[in-house]
């Protein structure tokens, strides 16, 4: 498959948190699995990430959070995506997320939450299922 036909995934770090080992490992695994992956780098604003989603025509957004500010950030990302006219781009989040936060996150519209220790193969399968539209 050439680059043009590849499904594009955007992996992003929003806010001031500097931990991106997980984000980069997931980005690499998805790239190796045949996706075209854009990694934003650290400390992007929500506006920057949403602009990238629009410009790059991405099929899925993955966001990584390790400093505990995901509840506020995720709600804003989803609002901004709607405002930018792409409410259907699925949002997946990973990192240090507590189980009791899952229902609220799902309600906001997060498609999938990836917990620490999830094997990369499982992440790849989940992402593929979501972009192909046959996730549960």
Measured from the CB of residue 88, what is the shortest distance to other proteins in angstroms?
Answer: 26
Measured from the CB of residue 129, what is the shortest distance to other proteins in angstroms?
Answer: 18
Rule CB under 8 A: say whether 43 interacts with other proteins: yes
Rule CB under 8 A: say whether 69 interacts with other proteins: yes
What is the end-to-end Cα distance of the chain in Å, rounded? 27
- Which residues have CB under 8 Å from 30's CB, separation 6+? 9, 11, 37, 123, 124, 127
Rule CB under 8 A: say whether 56 interacts with other proteins: no
For CA atoms 127, 128, 134, 136, the dihedral sign is negative
- Alpha carbons 79 and 109: distance in angstroms, whole number: 10
Instruction: Give the interface segment with other proteins, choosing from 1-9, 31-39, 48-56, 77-85 (CB under 8 A).
Output: 31-39
**Contact status, residue 86 vs residue 53, Cβ threshold 8 Å:** yes
5-24 binders of other proteins (CB under 8 A): 15-21, 24
Q: How far is CA 3 from the centre of its chain?
A: 20
Rule CB under 8 A: say whether 34 interacts with other proteins: no
Instruction: Give the interface segment with other proteins, choosing from 1-9, 55-63, 94-102, 127-135 (CB under 8 A).
Output: 94-102
- Alpha carbons 3 and 86: distance in angstroms, whole number: 23
List interacting residues with other proteins (CB under 8 A).
15-21, 24-25, 27-29, 31, 37, 39, 41-43, 45, 67-69, 72-73, 96, 98-100, 115-117, 119-121
């Amino acid at each position: 498959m050439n680059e043009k036909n590849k499904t594009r995934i955007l992996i992003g770090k929003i806010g001031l948190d500097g931990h991106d080992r997980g984000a980069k490992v997931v980005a690499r695994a998805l790239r190796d699995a045949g996706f075209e992956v854009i990694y934003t780098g650290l400390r992007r604003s929500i506006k920057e990430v949403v602009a990238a989603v629009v410009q790059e025509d991405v099929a899925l957004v993955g966001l990584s959070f390790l400093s505990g500010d995901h509840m506020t950030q995720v709600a804003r990302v989803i609002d901004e995506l709607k405002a930018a006219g792409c409410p259907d781009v699925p949002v997946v989040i990973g990192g240090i997320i507590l189980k009791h936060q899952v229902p609220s996150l799902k309600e906001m519209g997060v498609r999938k939450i990836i917990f620490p220790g999830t094997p990369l193969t499982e992440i790849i399968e989940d992402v593929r299922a979501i972009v192909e539209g046959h996730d549960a």
